[in-house]
Amino acid sequence: MTSFQVCLVCAGNICRSPIAEVVFRRRLADAGLDQLVTVESAGTGGWHEGEPADPRAVRTLSANGYDGSQHCARQFQPAWFERYDLVLALDSANVADLERIAPDAEARRKIRMLGSYVPGRDGAAMERYDVPDPYYGGDDGFDHVLRLVEAAATGFVDDMRSRLGS
């Protein structure tokens, strides 16, 4: 039975958050926490709703042993704050967008930067927590996103173990 629900949020839900969703799911499964933590993703905008992940994201995931082929983009809805325990934004602009649509202070408390889970980033400036959007760049930007997400996944799994007593 799932006891903790997480949504990973970027702008369009075709690059960063799908990469994060795939990596976090794998890491949680490897840690034996996949039955306790559900991970989904969404975008703050609806431009790509219903589309698969960007082909560069899928290629990057595949080249690193992950399967990102089943993704379908969707837009985060204000009512979803009710269902999620944690909403992880990929950058500070996504945080601002989420805070703007959050219905109340309780919902805003659920928002956190995904990059804050990268080990060694405690106390760093908010900008250093951003996972940069690779959409307008080349494949190397997607590789960089994957490395940041994998580092954050390590800290996230440790946090979930602590929270869930596993």
140: CATH: 3.40.50.2300
CA distance 92 to 60: 24
Whether residue 22 lies inside any domain: the answer is: yes
pTM for this predicted structure: 0.94
Is residue 15 a contact partner of residue 57, using CB atoms and an 8 Å limit?
Answer: yes
Look up the domain containing 90 and give its range.
Answer: 4-160
- Give tens-digit pLDDT for 108-153: 999 999 999 988 765 555 556 899 999 999 999 999 999 999 999 9
Say which of 7, 15, 16, 27 is annotated catalytic. Answer: 16
Say which of 54, 91, 130, 133 is annotated catalytic. Answer: 133
Assess whether 85 carries a catalytic annotation: no
Q: What is the block-wise mean pLDDT of the chain (166 residues), using blocks of 10 residues?
A: 88 98 98 97 97 98 96 98 97 97 98 90 64 95 97 96 85
CA dihedral 118, 105, 18, 160 (to 10 degrees): 50
Domain count, the chain: 1
Q: What's the confidence (pLDDT) of residue 125?
A: 55
Assess whether 15 carries a catalytic annotation: no
Q: What's the confidence (pLDDT) of residue 129?
A: 86
